[in-house]
A and B are shown apart, each in its own frame.
Chain A
């Protein structure tokens, strides 16, 4: 029986559960068993979806104790001989996966966004060069299939409820970590662009007057997001960046202003219903994905559309008052 280990990350449980879809694509029609591992939290949402959940309960182990978590999974691997190990590409997952892969001498593919499986070879697809290129990668050597999986890319939709065996696991490993968390400071909360139905997004073409986007966002009750170029130039904070190393967003409407649309950026858009793009180059990659393309300057577009919306509002009010 094939055994697939999925690491259940505290940060985003649903996303960890969605990795079941990756297992699905790896094994296709073959029989396989899914084993989830969670550290210090009983993942209730995962019950009924996995065959086994290994629940490690040791209050002395924290996420940042990467060495001891590696020790635990190595021990479990000796017992179960996993055929594949899937780790969500969260902050800790991206540190844990390479450490574990070195320990197990397994080839690791990072930030997988697609699985191509022709029954003979398993191709793991990931973005490279800032998302400008996608690379199809296969594993070599004896170790298990190992990958970290880009967050919020795969969705698990299976309805069938499994009987989950919960195994409370006492690792019996010594945590030799000399790292301490001294303090945690919560940053002032800004709105989450993933929750917005309409996103007004700016790229290089809005570099000069990025703050103008707020005007349109206000009129449309939308939020402002940005491309990597804007964030890297320091104009906007990273928490509003759309793109692979940034975020996956699923608004109903996405207005791309002066964004050419690197693969990375486009990968950050998922299930977006309508896309409007404004670009001086009507052949920019994002334009081919758009329902409507405005060939021209993005900031000029913003001013004109804001005026149009405002004048229509005034017109409507006048109509009502008549």
Chain B
């Protein structure tokens, strides 16, 4: 069967540095990583490939060309094709336009299942998987925490969605879109040592607007239906705080505070 994983590279936000003096987030020199949920989706696909080497895995990502080395790293795993959709005119696209661009490419492909992540750790709108579902006329489910390996065929998939209180098991006819949650804990394997420098350029498929043929006003900032007009770090009302340390006086003061307010 053919599985397409739609993935995204995101800034490693956990390693953002916050400049408390200037009250700004330092965004320079932050490296890009494969979005954690997407990484689980790809890891599941690779698991399926391990079970059946005839399975074909394609990664599709809309990204600047600078992401090519990142895609190549993934191609050094057992991934058959890496498609990067990249065009200067796509820059600044919102989720609506991004879905249209990805959708146009995906419509030209045949596949049995589309896998995506559930959340992206940068924007975290979770818009694209559901919007792709709409564009491709497929059903889509988010938050998938487990896919039954023995019941993942061309015809159907059985999977679990775990919420705080319940675990629901669903059956879905394929093709469909399953959006994997990082709580699934599917882990990408490491690239084999001997493959670290492997030439994978023959697996790379670079798609630009030449192939997709959008009008200029349909994509990028112009085609977007939402626009970020400002970003800011939130300002909060500061309290007149008391600062103490972990010594006896400090602990006594904390205790008195708790006692006076009736907490102890």
Question: Does A305 contact B224, Cβ atoms closer than 8 Å?
Answer: no
B142 touches A95 (CB 8 A): yes
Interface residues of B in 188-245 (CB under 8 A from A): 224-234, 236-239, 241-245
A283 at the interface (CB under 8 A from B): yes
Q: For the complex, what is the distance from the CA of A121 to the CA of B244, rounded to whole Å?
A: 45
Q: A187-B165, A290-B241 are in contact. Are A70 and B228 (CB under 8 A)?
A: no
In the complex, the chain A residue whose C-beta lies closest to that of B185 is: A234
List of A residues within 8 angstroms of B253 by Cβ: 292
| In the assembled complex, A110 has its CB within 8 A of some CB on chain B | yes
A33 is an interface residue with CB less than 8 A from chain B = no
Residues of A close to B173: CB separation below 8 A: 178-179
Whether the Cβ atoms of B139 and A177 lie closer than 8 Å is yes
Query: Does the CB pair B226–A70 fall under 8 Å?
Result: no
The answer to whether A115 has its CB under 8 Å from any CB of chain B is: no
- Identify A129's interface contact among B25, B126, B127, B176, CB under 8 A: B25
A276–B254 CB distance below 8 A:
yes
0/1 interface trace, chain A 162-195, chain B, CB 8 Å (1 if under): 0000000000000001111111111101000000
Q: How far is the CA of A243 from the CA of B95 in the complex (A)?
A: 24
A276 to B255, CA, bound (A): 11
Of the listed stretches B1-9, B49-57, B78-86, B256-264, chain A binds B256-264
**Known contacts A238-B164, A283-B20; A288/B126 CB under 8 A:** no
Q: Which of A22-30, A43-51, A101-109, A153-161 contacts its partner?
A: A101-109
CB-defined interface of A128-151 with B at 8 Å, one 1/0 digit per residue? Answer: 111011111111110100000000
- Tell whether, in the assembled complex, residue B226 and residue A139 are in contact, meaning their CB atoms are under 8 Å apart: yes
Q: Is the interface of A mostly helix, strand, loop or mixed?
A: mixed
Chain A neighbourhood of B254, CB < 8 A: 276, 292, 294, 305, 308
Using a Cβ–Cβ cut-off of 8 Å, how many residues does chain A contribute to the interface with B? 89
In the bound complex, do residue A308 and residue B251 qualify as a contact, i.e. CB atoms below 8 Å apart? Answer: yes
Please indicate the chain B residues that have their CB under 8 angstroms from the CB of A129 in the complex.
11, 13, 16, 25, 122
- A58 touches B (CB below 8 Å): no
B72 at the interface (CB under 8 A from A): no
Q: Do A99 and B231 have beta carbons less than 8 Å apart?
A: no
CB pair A136 B242 closer than 8 Å = no
Q: Find A178's partner among B139, B234, B236, B239 (CB 8 Å cutoff).
A: B139
By a CB distance below 8 angstroms, the chain A residues around B238 are 288-289
Please tell me which stretch of A1-9, A34-42, A78-86, A295-303 contacts chain B, meaning at least 4 of its Cβ atoms lie within 8 angstroms of it: A295-303
B123 within 8 A of A: yes
Chain A residues with CB under 8 Å of B141's CB are: 64, 95, 179
Chain B contact residues, majority secondary structure = mixed
Residue pair B169, A183 in contact (C-beta under 8 Å)? yes
Q: Are B130 and A66 in contact (CB under 8 A)?
A: yes
Task: Render B68-104 as a binary contact track against A, CB cut-off 8 A, 1 for contact.
Answer: 0000000000000000000000000011100100000
For B126, B129, B172, the residue with the greatest tally of chain A CB atoms inside 10 Å of its CB is B126
Q: Which residues of B contact A214 (CB under 8 A)?
A: none
Establish whether residues A294 and B230, one from each chain, have CB atoms under 8 Å apart when the complex forms.
no
Interface contacts (Cβ under 8 Å), in number, total 258
Residues in A with CB closer than 8 Å to B171 are 179-180, 182
Residues facing B in A243-264 (CB within 8 A) are 245, 252-253, 260, 263
**Chain B contacts of A127 at CB under 8 A?**
124
Q: Kindly provide the distance from the CB of A13 to the nearest chain B CB, expressed in whole angstroms.
A: 16
With a CB–CB cut-off of 8 A, which chain A residues contact B241?
A: 287-288, 290-293
CA distance A226 to B164 in the complex (A): 15
Given contacts A187-B165, A220-B264, A295-B243, contact A133 B233 (CB under 8 A): yes
A314 interface residue per 8 A CB criterion = no
Q: CB distance A138 to B229 under 8 Å? A: yes
Q: Given A66-B139, A180-B170, A282-B243, are A107 and B124 also a contact pair (CB < 8 Å)?
A: no
Residues of A within 8 A of B133 (CB): 66-67, 99
Residues of A within 8 A of B243 (CB): 282, 287, 292-295
Whole-angstrom CA separation of A180 from B159 in the bound complex: 11
How distant is B152 from chain A, measured CB to nearest CB, in Å? 14
Task: State how many angstroms separate the Cβ of A286 from the closest Cβ of chain B.
Answer: 10
Residues of B within 8 A of A141 (CB): 225
**Cα distance A51–B241 when bound, in Å?**
46
Chain B contacts of A238 at CB under 8 A?
164, 183
- Is B242 a contact of A293 with CB atoms below 8 Å? yes
- The answer to the question of B66 belonging to the interface, with a C-beta cut-off of 8 Å to chain A, is no
Q: Once the chains are docked, how many angstroms separate the CA of A136 from the CA of B96?
A: 17
A292 CB → nearest B CB, Å: 5
Say if the beta carbon of A75 comes within 8 Å of chain B: no
- Complex CA–CA separation, A220 to B133 (angstroms): 49
Add 20 more A-B contacts to A108-B225, A123-B229, A137-B227 (CB < 8 A).
A66-B133, A94-B126, A94-B142, A95-B129, A95-B140, A98-B130, A105-B96, A107-B226, A110-B125, A130-B121, A133-B232, A135-B228, A135-B231, A137-B226, A138-B227, A143-B225, A179-B176, A182-B158, A184-B166, A292-B254
Q: List 22 A-B contacts (CB under 8 A).
A: A64-B141, A97-B127, A98-B130, A106-B225, A108-B96, A110-B123, A129-B122, A134-B231, A138-B229, A143-B225, A179-B176, A180-B170, A181-B169, A253-B263, A291-B241, A292-B244, A292-B253, A293-B243, A294-B244, A301-B246, A301-B251, A305-B255
List the 3 shortest-distance A-B pairs measured between CB atoms, nearest first.
A107-B225, A178-B173, A296-B246
